[in-house]
Amino acid sequence: MNLQLAGRCAVRQGRAESILSRGQFAVLDTTEPYYLDFDSDWRMLSFRVPHEQLRGRLADPRLGTGIGIDAGSGTGAVVAALMRSLWDLDGPTGAGAAAELEQSFAAVTAVALGAAAPGPAGEDRLSHPGIRAAVLRFVLANLADPDLSVATVCRRFAISPRLLHTLFSDQPASFAGTVRGCGWTGAPG
């Protein structure tokens, strides 16, 4: 995750190319080739988001990389504010707090990437079958966790309970019904 603080940067990864100006950011997959070309006077704030943190939140983690995202409004503004706040933290955080911050940052990053990812015009990315599949993978991987709930799933994917249920509205079973079919016996809400 690279937030442009000053100057400009040409970013390219795969088929995506962007020019980042001050106040924009891009996510790059460091396991794939990427190219950065900076103006002479530039500053950038960069954070690493572990692949395992994004993989379960996105239909395809490669979608959205190399695309310039505006940090001035919407989810982009949340990402930029969180990046700046993390940078400005005074003193060390405990292991639990650090893990929670990493989870939060990955969730917000995934939302920003999902919103920026190319797709058919007008496609509602929250109802995309890949996002639904990512939710189900997370639930299946955590069926034995006694703290698994709608709230923990929503927190993991940075969505509201209403949006979570919307993901399953065009399916034969609701979210709760689908999950019960997987063997989850936890509380539905």
- Which residue type does 18 have? S
Q: What is the pLDDT of residues 122-163, one digit of tens each?
A: 344 443 566 677 788 778 888 888 888 888 887 777 677 888
Q: Which residues contact 166 (CB under 8 A, 6 or more apart)?
A: 126, 127
**Residue 175 and residue 76: Cα distance in Å, rounded?**
28
Are residues 91 and 146 located together in one domain of the fold? no
Q: 3-class DSSP state for residue 65?
A: coil
Domain containing residue 104: 1-118
**Residue 51 and residue 172: Cα distance in Å, rounded?**
32
Are residues 135 and 105 located together in one domain of the fold? no
Are residues 114 and 160 located together in one domain of the fold? no
Are residues 7 and 83 located together in one domain of the fold? yes
Q: Where does a domain end: 70, 98, 118? A: 118
* Number of domain units in the chain: 2
pTM of the model: 0.57
Are residues 65 and 152 located together in one domain of the fold? no
Are residues 45 and 131 located together in one domain of the fold? no
- Do the beta carbons of residue 161 and residue 151 sit within 8 Å? yes
pLDDT at 37: 93
Are residues 112 and 57 located together in one domain of the fold? yes
The stretches in the chain having pLDDT less than 50 are 120-127, 187-189
Are residues 39 and 80 located together in one domain of the fold? yes
